[in-house]
Amino acid sequence: ANPGRQQAINTITNRAPSTVTPTDYLGDIWAEDVFDLRRMEWALSKTAFKSIKKTVQTGEPLDPATADVVAAAMKEWAVSKGAKFFSHVFYPMTNITAEKHDGFIVTNSDGGAITEFSGSLLIKGEPDGSSFPNGSLRMTNAARGYTAWDPTSPAYIMHTDNGATLMIPSVFMSWTGEALDKKIPLLRSNAAMNKAGQEVLKLMGESDIAPLNSSCGAEQEYFLVDANFANSRPDLLLAGRTLFGAPPPKGQEFDDHYFGAIPARVQVFMQDFEDQLYKLGIPAKTHHNEVAPGQFEIAPYFEAANVAADHQQLMMTLMKATAKKHGFMLLLHEKPFAGVNGSGKHVNWSVGNSTQGNLLDPGSTPHENLLFLLFCGAVIRGVHLHGPLLRAVIATASNDHRLGANEAPPAILSVYLGDQLEQVFNDIKEGNIHTSAGGGEMDLGLSQILKFERDPGDRNRTSPFAFTGNRFEFRAVGSSQSVSGPLVAMNTMLADSLNWIAAELEPALEGGASQAEAVVKVLKKLMNEHGNVVFGGDGYSEEWHRIAVEERGLKNIPTTADALPALREASVVELFSSTGVLSPLELESRFEVYAEQYILSIEVEAKLVIDMARTMIYPASNAYLAELAATAQNLAALGVELDSSIAKAVAAQINQLSTTIANLEEVMGREGFASTEEHMQFCATEILPRMNEVRAAADTLEGYVADELWPLPKYQEMLYIK
Ligand code: ADP
Ligand code: MG
């Protein structure tokens, strides 16, 4: 290895093992830094607590008087834990988390200082919105954005080297009330789903119906690379992925990493990180190695979608910071290493309430079966009608490298139900299920499905959207993404489908049909129109790619440039405005923000490719060629002829590198696009392929140039040395 790389390897090898701080008793640390209902009950008067509890559980607005009382108690608690600052935490349309810190301290008239935190500070903060992406809303919001506490997500204390800060999960909106964040649409989508779901449950004869909520459990994949390597890779630092690098001789052919022993250093990192999660009330549940070397997964237990989404964001921030402390760089990019498995985030999603339970659980009684079939049918209809929307909400420049790469779900949205459930829906479609005329109960034996699907061995891993026994698992979501976008899309399409079902069910029931007859009738129609989206076979096969498009009429949407325009389609605009989740203006602003991000991230990478190729790879390759030439010359002076094939090959690749750099530069100079869509297409079809050409030349050179001259840490070093 070259001196820099060798030094990195030495440092890592000689690293003293991190000390493991013994874990405290879980019961003691669990949620110790969270101002949750338990703490509020202790700190508040009975009436104030009753009022805030109602808000937390139903999302109803908090009255100003209670807000003042809660704020005072919250401050008291935070200050007792050493906090001097508070911060509204919000989630702009980028996938990041934003914070604005303010001091509790105010000076009083006699020059002293007191701490102050009123209900109005809790409910409304006022960061400058102009530096956050807001798409076309820039015109209307005059740079001002407001944050307000979302009481359904608890406040917590964040400890950093600078001390403790009270963090307040918040919504972020323009002064005209438009959503500028990822939380507002999620809350609205839940409300829409609740409303539609209640309607269906009422029609099905339920009388006691608690508010419906969606749940989310996200499985998060990530890579760990030693910081000594990562810091000498400008591409990892700036783009989060390697823009160069030849595949290692030992890849993941043997899959020997999956569920293998976790390296000691990584274990220490995980323990540290998970203890922090526990203190913040985040239920870290499983962790294990993933398929690729250096790849791992963590899956917290599922929670209410809104809280789970906040916790996901917090978890991503924490895992990066903790990895840094342990000498790692943690990569959330969907495809950090070409030719090596990428990272995803499986979003497990279900809907239910405290009275009817999980409505995506088949249950054990015939009546529960019927409710389940309706909700499951609603999902099928939703995915069929809004496949392109589901594709759009997972569309990012980085996830494009993963989707459709035969390791991740394909870019065609289909639904996997499992053999038994697929059979039930097919029987309904074909009219093979006969409900007794007398309206007697019909037992479909669906409780079997639960048992079967719980066995992960039987699951179809090639499907982007799979039923897994009591929930759906959206597997095509990217590892670096916020889960909010996917949850919003799923809740909203479900709301729309439940509305459709209610509208169909009502006349059927009024016509005197039994519940079972009415449900089967509605689902038969639903399956005839939307059954094409159900697919249980191999999603990676070429056959499916052909059938899906040619026979089933589904769309294969390979890139973000192809996917994002779905947000502008009339059907999607109508879906969001009819459910009250996003106004046409809000939706348009999202299209603009996401499109801009796509273009920007490709342009940044392209510049980096040019820079690294010129300043690192070209000089190293030339130095090697000079060595070869000098050796040949010296030998020639002695009358010895050195075979010149290697020198010629290196020279040819160096020329190829120059040519490809020039080509990339040429397209980078192009401007004046007629539309954002055209600009995105240009990135996908002109810039990316030219970046890949530079990479191909550079990666070939990596196979020639003397190891000691190669400036960039190699794949095998980054993936295997821990
Ligand atoms: P696997 O890797 O087999 O898919 P894991 O146990 O690793 O399963 O992850 C499953 C995730 O799904 C966890 O976060 C789990 O809490 C979550 N989950 C389980 N049941 C539900 C449900 N009803 N709704 C939403 N998420 C759920
Ligand atoms: Mg899973």
* Same domain membership, residue 293 and residue 354: yes
Of 180, 215, 230, the residue that ends a domain is 180
* Same domain membership, residue 227 and residue 162: no
Q: Which residue has the tokens 């499983």?
A: 286
Residue 132 pLDDT: 65
Length of the chain: 722
Domain of residue 372: give its range.
190-597
Residue 60 pLDDT: 79
* Same domain membership, residue 216 and residue 228: yes
* CATH number of the structural domain spanning residue 426: 3.30.590.10
Q: Is 540 in the pocket of ligand 1 (CB under 6 A)?
A: no
* Same domain membership, residue 389 and residue 359: yes
Q: What gap in Å lies between CA 232 and CA 245, rounded to an integer?
A: 13
Token representation of residue 223: 């890579």
229-281 pLDDT, tens digit per residue, is 999 999 999 999 999 999 877 655 545 555 567 788 888 999 999 999 999 99
Residue 688 in contact with residue 562, Cβ under 8 Å?
A: no
Q: Please, which pLDDT band fits residue 366 given cuts at 50, 70 and 90?
A: confident
In-domain check, residue 176: yes
Q: Is 479 in the pocket of ligand 1 (CB under 6 A)?
A: no
Q: What gap in Å lies between CA 297 and CA 332, rounded to an integer?
A: 11
* Same domain membership, residue 560 and residue 645: no
171-230 pLDDT, tens digit per residue, is 998 877 889 999 999 999 999 999 999 999 999 999 999 999 999 999 999 999 999 999
In-domain check, residue 8: no
In-domain check, residue 5: no
Q: Please, which pLDDT band fits residue 7 given cuts at 50, 70 and 90?
A: confident
Q: Which helix (H) or strand (E) holds 75?
A: helix 64-80
Residue 13 pLDDT: 82
* Same domain membership, residue 95 and residue 221: no
- 642 C-alpha to center of ligand 1: Å? 62
Q: Is 450 in the pocket of ligand 1 (CB under 6 A)?
A: no
47: number of Cβ within 10 Å: 11
For residue 146, what are the β-bridge partners? 173
Torsion, CA 391, CA 395, CA 400, CA 403, rounded to 10: -30
Choose among 151, 77, 160: nearest CA to 115. Answer: 77
148-161 pLDDT, tens digit per residue, is 889 999 999 999 87
680-716 pLDDT, tens digit per residue, is 999 999 999 999 999 999 999 999 999 999 999 999 8
**Is residue 457 scored above 60 in pLDDT?**
no
Residue partners of 406: CB distance under 8 A and separation at least 6: 540
Q: Is 259 in the pocket of ligand 1 (CB under 6 A)?
A: no
**What percent of the chain has a predicted confidence (pLDDT) above 70?**
90
Q: Which helix (H) or strand (E) holds 164?
A: strand 163-174
Q: Which residue has the tokens 């049909």?
A: 513
User: Ligand nearest 349 Cα, by number?
Assistant: 1
* Same domain membership, residue 52 and residue 106: yes
* Same domain membership, residue 196 and residue 174: no
- 495 C-alpha to center of ligand 1: Å? 22
- 618 C-alpha to center of ligand 1: Å? 48
Q: What gap in Å lies between CA 465 and CA 347, rounded to an integer?
A: 10
Of 180, 215, 249, the residue that ends a domain is 180
Pocket residue to mutate for ligand 1, from 216, 259, 302, most atoms within 8 A of Cβ:
302
Token representation of residue 627: 């060595």
SS3 137: helix
**Is residue 124 scored above 70 in pLDDT?**
no
For residue 350, what are the β-bridge partners? 215
- 297 C-alpha to center of ligand 1: Å? 13
In-domain check, residue 618: yes
In-domain check, residue 18: no
* Same domain membership, residue 541 and residue 451: yes
* Same domain membership, residue 160 and residue 111: yes
Q: Is 299 in the pocket of ligand 1 (CB under 6 A)?
A: yes
Q: What gap in Å lies between CA 68 and CA 121, rounded to an integer?
A: 9
**Is residue 405 scored above 80 in pLDDT?**
no
SS3 90: strand
Q: Is 217 in the pocket of ligand 1 (CB under 6 A)?
A: yes
For residue 303, what are the β-bridge partners? 216
Average pLDDT, the chain: 89
- 472 C-alpha to center of ligand 2: Å? 10
Residue 136 pLDDT: 61
In-domain check, residue 239: yes
Q: Is 457 in the pocket of ligand 1 (CB under 6 A)?
A: no
**Is residue 437 scored above 60 in pLDDT?**
no
* CATH number of the structural domain spanning residue 122: 3.10.20.70
Q: What gap in Å lies between CA 587 and CA 566, rounded to an integer?
A: 11
Token representation of residue 218: 């996200």
Q: Is 470 in the pocket of ligand 1 (CB under 6 A)?
A: yes
CA-based radius of gyration for the chain: 28
Residue 283 pLDDT: 93
Residue 252 pLDDT: 57
Q: What gap in Å lies between CA 31 and CA 41, rounded to an integer?
A: 15
Q: Which helix (H) or strand (E) holds 24?
A: none
Residue 215 pLDDT: 98
Query: Closest residue (by CA) to atom 11 of ligand 1?
Result: 217
Of 572, 597, 622, the residue that ends a domain is 597
Q: What gap in Å lies between CA 182 and CA 348, rounded to an integer?
A: 18
What atom in ligand 1 is closest to the CA of residue 350?
A: 24
Token representation of residue 375: 């909700």
522-546 pLDDT, tens digit per residue, is 999 999 999 999 999 888 888 999 9
Residue 456 pLDDT: 47
Residue 243 CA: distances (Å) to CA of 240, 602, 656, 702: 9, 11, 17, 13
Q: Please, which pLDDT band fits residue 443 given cuts at 50, 70 and 90?
A: low
Q: Is 590 in the pocket of ligand 1 (CB under 6 A)?
A: no
ipTM of the complex: 0.96
Residue 141 pLDDT: 43
In-domain check, residue 15: no
Q: Please, which pLDDT band fits residue 96 given cuts at 50, 70 and 90?
A: confident
* Same domain membership, residue 280 and residue 240: yes
Q: What gap in Å lies between CA 625 and CA 622, rounded to an integer?
A: 5
Q: What gap in Å lies between CA 289 and CA 257, rounded to an integer?
A: 6
Query: Does the global pTM surpass 0.90?
Result: yes
Token representation of residue 638: 């002695």
In-domain check, residue 19: no
- 302 C-alpha to center of ligand 1: Å? 6
* Same domain membership, residue 351 and residue 236: yes
**Number of domains composing the chain:** 3
